[in-house]
Amino acid sequence: MDASQTIYVVDDDPAVRDALSVVFEMEGFTVRSFADGDAFIEAVKSQVPASVILDVHMPGRSGIDVLKTLSADHYDAPVFIISGQGDIPMAVEAIRSGAFDFIEKPFNADTVVDRVREGIAAMATRNAAAEAHSGFQGAELLTQREREVLGRITAGASNKEAGRELGISPRTVEVHRARIMEKLGARNAADLVRIVLGH
C-alpha cells in the first residue's frame, strides 16, 4: 500500500466513512477508515498517510483529543477536521491544535477531494517556504503552518490569496494570523513585517 496515496478517514458514522471511501477511491486514492480515534492513533504509529480526515465529534476520544495526541502541529500529513455548521468555535480550536483546515458538513464530494489534494500539495512544498522565514526573533514560537501563513502575509498576500496558495480557507488564515500576532507581540500587519524583515 502506497502511503503517499492513502487517506485515513476517522469518523464514528459508517455512512460518512463509506461515502468518503467511495469518493476518494474513485479518485485513485487508497482509503483506510477508522470508527474511533484509538484505532486510528494505533495505525499512524506505523505509517504516515497522505492526509487524514477526522470527525470532531466522536465517542471516547474526540477529534481535538486525537489532534493533540498526534502533535498535529508537527505532523507530516495535512489533517482535515469535519465539523457541522454550529461547530465553528470547535473548528477554530482544532486549527489551534494543528489541524490543516476544516471541512463543514454537509460537504460536496468534489470540494473535499480538491481541498485534500491542495492540502497534500501544500504540505509537500511547505518546508522550503518555512525555512526562508525561520531566522527572526520569536520564530521558534510559531508552528510550521503559522510560518507558512506568515511567509504569505509578509509577501503581501491577502487572507484570501494566502488561503488559496496554502489550500486553506480565508477564515483559517485569519485564525493563524491572530495567533502569530499574539505570539510575536505585533499590533498590526506592518508591525509583523517589521519583526520579520527587521532581522
Cell digits for 68? Answer: 493533540
Cβ neighbours of 197 (radius 10 Å): 10
Pairing of strands 6-10, 51-55: parallel
Question: What whole-number distance in Å separates Cα of residue 2 and Cα of residue 173?
Answer: 31
165 pLDDT above the threshold of 80? yes
Report d(CA 45, CA 102) in Å as an integer: 23
* Residue of 110, 23, 99 lying closest to 56 (CA atoms): 99
Q: Kindly state whether residues 121 and 139 are assigned to the same domain.
A: no
Q: For 35-85, how does the pLDDT look when each residue is reduced to its tens digit (9 = 90+)?
A: 999 999 998 888 889 999 999 888 888 888 998 888 777 788 899 998 876
Of 64, 97, 125, which closes a domain?
Answer: 125
Domains in the chain, number? 2
pTM above 0.75, yes or no: no
Omega before residue 106 within 30° of 0, cis: yes
| Same domain (yes/no): 79, 40 | yes
Same domain, 30 and 109: yes
At 56, give phi and psi (nearest 5°): -80, -35
199 has pLDDT over 50: no
**Do 71 and 158 reside in the same domain of the chain?**
no
The amino acid at 141: L
What is the Cα–Cα distance from 131 to 190, expressed in whole angstroms? Answer: 21
CB contact set of 42 (below 8 Å; sequence gap of 6+): none
- Which triple of cell numbers denotes residue 124? 509537500
Contacts of residue 193, Cβ cutoff 8 Å, sequence gap at least 6 = 153, 154
pLDDT digits (tens, 9 = 90+) for 80-113: 998 876 667 787 888 888 899 888 888 888 889 9
User: What is the domain range of residue 10?
Assistant: 1-125
CATH number at residue 186: 1.10.10.10
Q: Measuring CA to CA, which residue among 178, 159, 180 is closest to residue 169?
A: 159
Whole-number percent of the chain with pLDDT over 70: 90
Residue with C-alpha cell 504540505? 123
